[in-house]
Amino acid sequence: MQILDLDLFSATGLYAPNMHGDFVCRVLRAIRERIPGMSGKKIVFVPESNSAFESQNYALGVIEARIPHVYLMDEDTKHVGLRSTNATKKRMATLFAHALRAHAVKFHPLLQTQTKKAGSDEICTPAEMQATLVKQAGDFKRKRIKKRKREEGDTNEYTEVYSGKHGGRMDDLIMAAMICYIGHMIYRQKYTEKYEKQAPLWSNSS
Q: Which residues pair with 107 in a beta bridge?
A: 3
pLDDT above 90: percentage of residues in the chain? 56
Does the pLDDT value for residue 127 go beyond 70?
yes
Domain membership flag for residue 154: yes
Report CA 176 to chain centroid distance, whole Å. 3
93 close to 162: Cβ distance less than 8 angstroms: yes
pTM: 0.85
- Please provide residue 56's backbone torsions phi and psi, each rounded to the nearest 5 degrees: -65, -40
Domain membership flag for residue 202: no
Lowest-confidence region among 12-16, 23-27, 28-32, 142-146:
142-146
Domain membership flag for residue 18: yes
Domain membership flag for residue 201: no
What is the CB-side half-sphere exposure of residue 41 using CA atoms within 13 A? 15
Q: What is the predicted pLDDT for the residue at 148?
A: 67
Q: What is the predicted pLDDT for the residue at 54?
A: 87
**pLDDT winner (highest mean) among 13-22, 48-57, 133-142, 182-191:** 182-191
Q: Give the number of domains in the chain.
A: 1
Read off the pLDDT band of 149 (50, 70, 90): low
Domain membership flag for residue 203: no
Helix (H, G, I), strand (E, B) or coil at 37: coil
Domain membership flag for residue 109: yes
Q: Which amino acid is at 38?
A: M
115 close to 123: Cβ distance less than 8 angstroms: yes
Domain membership flag for residue 110: yes
Q: What is the predicted pLDDT for the residue at 139?
A: 83
**Whole-angstrom distance, CA of residue 142 vs CA of residue 120:** 34
Residues 28-74: pLDDT tens digits? Answer: 999 999 999 999 899 999 999 987 788 998 999 999 999 999 999 99
**Whole-angstrom distance, CA of residue 9 vs CA of residue 116:** 8
Domain membership flag for residue 204: no
Q: What are the strands, taking DSSP E only, across 25-134? A: 43-45, 70-72, 106-112
Tell me how long the chain is.
206
Q: What is the predicted pLDDT for the residue at 182?
A: 93
**Whole-angstrom distance, CA of residue 165 vs CA of residue 121:** 26
Q: What is the predicted pLDDT for the residue at 7?
A: 96
Enumerate residues 6+ apart whose C-beta is below 8 A from 171. Answer: 136, 139, 140, 163, 164, 165
User: Domain limits at 79?
Assistant: 2-195
